[in-house]
Structure 1
């Protein structure tokens, strides 16, 4: 036991040192964009005293809605999640189909008089106003009487609360007035129209209210201002994906300054968050600096000096009693089919009933990291039974996986297959397979290179000598297909019928791909 503990400690020290794939904080008082080189879409950022919190979309992943924390808008860690499970559709339990492009979308986060509030609208359901005294939860919610698309919550200092909502299909922005408990809509008025508008966010500065709207048809961001929430509003274009991003708003700094945050469509990795200094001209915010206005800088002075480097956790030795906050299930998990307690220091996955990877429950995911990253997992496959299909790879528009199987003998086989989810159904291609030497321990590896949008996989029987299988494969993102997220790392275990087997995962280790190890086109 003592040797096991020591080896785990050594692994985690090494993993921690190697996990850094991207560093926004340059260590010299500057930062570079993006602040997180991963898929954290639909950001909403608030300041509470000296602390900043960001809420980000998670779709059908569970737990839902990631909330991150920072002291300087540059160095972020995961603070909590909003919901432990998704409700309202049987598909969230992978019953009667999948729900990959449903779930929890764009949220609006606010804080008032010691309580955190978060508004979001589960796809196809009514809007919920969540509330908690601690950002780590527990969170409860009131459900409103209507569905407000991408609701933007705004609370006046005296407690009066409002929701702004608009959808691209219409562009009419409606302001909902809420009661004192933020539990009921008491009034609804159309206050403005912007063609293609959605994702409204409202702040106040001085005599003006400012409303930011994403314009997805143009991948642009607009800002409107008015002296009353009910208008009249005047509108100007701000920036777009060519100059920095298309969905976001502003957050204030303790010294009275302002910074902007915005989401940018970034290819296969998904949608990443950039931040930018903002200056004011004639009571209008201008992104960038007076020397380079109208664009998000690639590099700039940090908003707040002195905060230490931090990043969301990635590598994991599975030594805790709970899964790390970096992990999410592909849908609501079946708690009877996974455990951290049955074999302490290991994650055990028992096969869930499924015919194929895309419909398998209890697939454990973590965001792909850019610019280019490598993830290795160490498995104990000694208890796989015939029919079990367990392994590691990617989940996304293209899901490329190494699947380990075992027949009646002790020899195992590993297969590389690629599944593409398209608008007319998923297509799976078996690329290659190999019989591996006898043994219960196996390592699997997945590389994702977002500089070329290509990936590759390999296996090893000793953790040192690796064999690639199936060649490279595409990485991609499209909102109409796949998971509506950037490519994710995925651990899975399923079987077409009843199974008494399982797979144990000893560790997940993430590191940066060196230039020599990049996946070339």
Structure 2
């Protein structure tokens, strides 16, 4: 049902006015929203009363690309340095998501801003790869490849090089003649062969974007993230401008349309469709959207944003209801996403996965991934009756390719038991990237404290033992370390840290602060009884 221009104007003036137009939701019922909690205390979007509260995937799940496949929905995200990478998720209602598994087993570089599509019964993921370390110009280190599978669960093919350098953020579309195209940052396009595994012709510039007022505070213009779909008489081109981090008011969603894939592209009179307008809002830097028809023919946008005060968690996945005005232009209906919204209809699958791990079987690619892994990294892991045995690598956490996992709570506690071989240092970290982390490392000579991505001057008087219980508590950026020889009598580490600065605007890397296990030096370390507990 179209949303009138009058309704659109009222929606854009504030969350309470807009939300009151959504059936089943009153402002009073959502005045004090709170997330549901899993058995581990991990927050969940589905509130169990017919509403949901963003984020639908809490934690560092950026650049969502989502595919409707009948009554099923599949989604994946930028996995950057993670290996195995490209974790695919499955949902029936756009709110509750189950992991399917990783689509990319071996690392090929930094992976981000993909497009997951299905064409003629086959699944494709178009993937930009970047070499590390990044070094301009863009053409020297960015390239687009594609993997494909006949089943969403795999096996996925080896990456096929499309030889598209100097562009990122692919977006797939089939035109009115049945021909396949790939749009990229810029916004440029190139024809794809019928099998989608090679290109025809050259990249061509097709759209210059929508220009926001010069006095708006953004990171950069950065026209990127094209996602295309066809509805009625029009092809719609959804893209992002304003930069993905930087100021809270930067990132935004814009829309253009054309009756043919060849253009010309007409900008939406409501642009930007989505934008954080104030630092007071719950979600910052909202953008990089995919629009799709959800259950019962209702439309939604899926995009990412930073949580106000918690950039350390990375860019989280958000779902916003949308509608169509009388002129067939899209309209955002979710306000600033700070309040519960009516949940889409559909089966609620069990959401997420447990973060605790007794290491009886592998969960590489879902619960754990390597950061900055080499091709042979998985061979470092062995599952034994005593736990996960991790062969040491490098000389410190910086070059050790630690095991990390994504979490999405503002406060949590993690713990693990570490058993060392001679010549090994191993421990428990909160890891942003190989330049910024903090935590504890234990060796035969005692404990090393890490802060700010390097070993600290502080020498903690922990016991010189090869077996040690370690615990880290992150209570809304206040991080405290603990250690124990028996797991019952804990000693609080002398030094506490404040970690709100462990974010993209400090280190210029789009990551999130994650629990991590590392082993460096010689020999191996065995980890057992990893536990996670979300704190309210």
Q: TM-score, normalised by structure 2?
A: 0.79
| Gap regions ≥5 residues in structure 2 | 1-36, 131-140, 212-220, 244-249
What's the RMSD between the two structures over aligned residues?
2.4
Match in the other structure for 1:406: 444
Q: Which string of whole-angstrom CA distances, capped at 9 and with x for unpartnered residues, describes residues 310-360 of structure 1?
A: 12332111111553622100122544863334x2351001221x2322112
Report the equivalent of 2:498.
473
- Deviation per CA, 1:190-215: give whole Å up to 9, x if none: 21102531111111111111111111
Report the counterpart of residue 387 of structure 2 in structure 1: 346
- How far, CA to CA, are the matches of 1:178 and 1:132 in structure 2? 17
Q: Matched residue of 2:473: which SS?
A: strand
Judge conservation of contact 2:427–2:440 (CA < 8 Å) in 1. yes
Does the 8 Å contact 2:480/2:497 carry over to 1? Answer: yes
The equivalent residue for 1:208 is 234
Q: Which residue of 2 aligns with 1:313?
A: 354
Native 8 Å contact 2:176 2:260 kept in 1: no
Q: 1:511 Cα deviation (Å)?
A: 1.0
Contact persistence 1:392–1:490 (CA under 8 A): yes
Task: State how far apart, in whole Å, the 1-side matches of 2:154 and 2:175 are.
Answer: 23
Match for residue 139 of structure 1? 156
Alignment of structure 1 residues 119-130 onto 2, 5 Å: 119-123=126-130, 124-130=141-147
Matching of residues 477-492 of structure 1 within 5 Å: 477-478=503-504, 481=507, 484-492=510-518
Q: Unpaired segments of 5 or more residues in structure 1?
A: 1-15, 93-102, 167-171, 408-412, 421-426, 515-521
Cα distance in 2, alignment partners of residues 28 and 491 from structure 1: 38
Specify which of 367, 370, 373 is matched with residue 409 of structure 2. Answer: 370
Give the 3 Å change call, closer, same or farther, for CA 108–31 of structure 1 in structure 2.
same
8 Å Cα contact 1:53-1:68 kept in structure 2: yes
Tell me the SS of whatever aligns to 2:146: strand
What is the rounded CA distance, in whole Å, between the counterparts of 2:301 and 2:272 in structure 1? 14
Change (3 A) 1:324 1:66: closer
Find the aligned partners of 1:465 and 1:158 in 2 and give their Cα distance. Answer: 71
Aligned residues of 2:176 and 2:261 also touching (Cα < 8 A): no
Which of 320, 333, 338 is 1:288 aligned to? 333
Alignment of structure 1 residues 442-457 onto 2, 5 Å: 442-449=468-475, 452-457=476-481
Distance 1:158 1:142, change over 3 A: farther
Residue 32 to residue 331, structure 1, CA distance change in 2 (3 Å): same
Show the counterpart of 2:7. none
Closer, same or farther: CA 157–193 of 1 in aligned 2, 3 Å: closer
Answer whether contact 1:241 1:264 (CA < 8 A) is retained. no
User: What are the equivalent positions in structure 2 for 1:250-269 lying under 5 Å apart?
Assistant: 250-266=291-307, 267-269=311-313
Q: Which aligned segments of 4 or more residues in structure 1 are displaced greater than 6 angstroms? A: none
Distance in 1 (CA, whole Å) between partners of 2:364 and 2:147 is 24
Structure 1 CA distance, aligned partners of 2:105 and 2:90? 19
- Size of the aligned set, in residue pairs, is 452
Instruction: Check conservation: 1:43, 1:261, Cα contact below 8 A.
Output: yes
Secondary structure of residue in 2 paired with 1:511: strand
Partner of residue 434, structure 1: 461
Q: Is 1:185 equivalent to 2:209 in the alignment?
A: no
The 1:357–1:441 alpha-carbon spacing in structure 2 relative to 1, beyond 3 Å, is closer
Equivalence for 1:379: 418
Gap change, CA 1:394 and 1:207, over 3 Å in 2: same
1:392 matched to 2:428? yes
Report the secondary structure of 1:121's partner residue.
Answer: strand
- The answer to whether residue 192 in structure 2 is matched with residue 154 in structure 1 is no
- Determine the structure 2 residue equivalent to 1:62: 83
Distance 1:222 1:431, change over 3 A: farther
Aligned equivalents of 1:441, 1:158: Cα separation in 2: 66
> 2: CA distance between counterparts of 1:118 and 1:505?
34
What SS is found at the alignment partner of 2:405? Answer: strand
Which shifted more, 454-463 or 476-485? 476-485
Q: 251, 259, 272: which one pairs with 1:237?
A: 272
Whole-angstrom distance in 2 between the partners of 1:122 and 1:502: 32
